Amino acid sequence: MLNKKEISSFQKNGYLVKKTSDLKSLNNLQDFIYKILSKDKKNVPKDKIKYFETLHSFIKKKELNNFRVSAITNVNKNKKFRDYYYNSAKEILDGLVGNEIAMQKKINLSIQIPNDNKSMLPMHSDIYAGESPFEVVVWIPLMNVKKSTHSMFITNPKDNIKINKEITKSKNKTIIKIYNKYKKKFKFLKINYGEILVFSPIIQHGNVINTTKETRISLNCRFKSLLSPYDVFSKTHRNIPHFFQPYIVKPLTKIGFNFIESVNKKKFHGSL
């Protein structure tokens, strides 16, 4: 259960880093990814984190995208993986979002090998892509993530206001120019294995070229309260059933929707 200090920190900073209350589920995520990424590879370390950190030694840079896409396909075929993911973050989600949940249909896998400029994710707010301000991103590293280019960066909500204004109103400045102007305001996060990052999509975030000697592997997925608004600013595909799917639905909600559906179809029969 989240305490008042943790909830207050999230409301103030737009993010929270906290140890999982279900390390077994998180370990299952790590095991599954290790098996996928090590399949058909020779002489890989048995230590999962060591293998992840040195993954760039076992794959060519030009093969990386197909390698990652294949892994994502395997991840999203496995229903247990979704359960492990939710259970890993359940305590945090219960405290910040609620216990009636919609979950992003597709879990994403990020592999950022050293000095790969194609793995960059420029500064952005997910709101620009039609995400809901009522959701959170659950970001799970599968190894220790250093407070450096090995990690992702995030901004303070106070600075976020200025940056967002400049992005939305500037006609001549690129995202990269705006990032360079404000890059001292951004904070790279240190996250140890077993910890989970949860952040608001409103906050500006992203990553840069990984200049360390270690690969970084992480998972990300979005969650929101099932009955909170989806297409807030414009009609997009970021809704049910296109982008999200119901994950936890309480009995009374099912009864309510069954009633609405029967009335709309003019087939109301009074049963639950």
In a domain, 269, yes or no: no
Ranking 101-110, 112-121, 143-152 by mean pLDDT, the lowest is 112-121
Number of domains in the chain: 1
Q: What is the 3-state secondary structure (H, E, C) of the chain?
A: CCCHHHHHHHHHHCEEEEECCCHHHHHHHHHHHHHHHHCCCCCCCCCHHHHHHCHHHCCCHHHHHHHHHHHHHHHHHCHHHHHHHHHHHHHHHHHHCCCCEEEECCCEEEEECCCCHHHCEEEECHHHHCCCCCEEEEEEECCCECCCCCCCEEECHHHHHHHHHHHHHCCCCCHHHHHHHHHHHEEECCECCCEEEEECCCCCEEECCCCCCCCEEEEEEEEEECCCCCCCCCCCCCCCCCCEEECCCCHHHHHHHHHHHHHHCCCCCCCC
In a domain, 186, yes or no: yes
Residue keyed to tokens 């008042």: 4
Residue 161 has pLDDT above 80, yes or no: yes
Query: What tokens does 57 get?
Result: 């030694």
Q: Sign of the C-alpha dihedral, residues 248, 252, 255, 257? A: negative
Structure confidence at residue 264 (pLDDT): 84
Which are the contacts of 75, defined by CB distance < 8 A and separation ≥ 6? 32, 33, 36, 81, 107, 109
Residue type, 149: T
Measure the CA–CA gap between 132 and 140, rounded to whole angstroms. Answer: 20
Contact 214, 185 (CB under 8 A): no
The separation between the first and the last C-alpha atoms of the chain, rounded to the nearest angstrom, is 33
Burial (0-12, 13-18, 19+ Cβ within 10 Å), 261: exposed
Average pLDDT of span 89-113? 97
Share of the chain above pLDDT 90, in %: 77
Residue 163 has pLDDT above 80, yes or no: yes
132: domain range? 4-264
Average pLDDT of span 147-156? 94
In a domain, 218, yes or no: yes
pTM above 0.85, yes or no: yes
In a domain, 39, yes or no: yes
Per-residue pLDDT tens digits for 194-251 = 999 999 999 999 999 999 999 999 999 999 999 999 988 878 889 999 999 999 999 9
Residue 49 has pLDDT above 80, yes or no: yes
In a domain, 58, yes or no: yes
In a domain, 271, yes or no: no
Contact 205, 154 (CB under 8 A): yes
Measure the CA–CA gap between 163 and 159, rounded to whole angstroms. Answer: 6
Residue 272 has pLDDT above 80, yes or no: no
Instruction: Look up the CATH number of the domain holding residue 109.
Output: 2.60.120.620
In a domain, 272, yes or no: no
In a domain, 154, yes or no: yes
Ranking 25-39, 133-147, 175-189, 207-221 by mean pLDDT, the lowest is 175-189
Per-residue pLDDT tens digits for 85-98 = 999 999 999 999 99
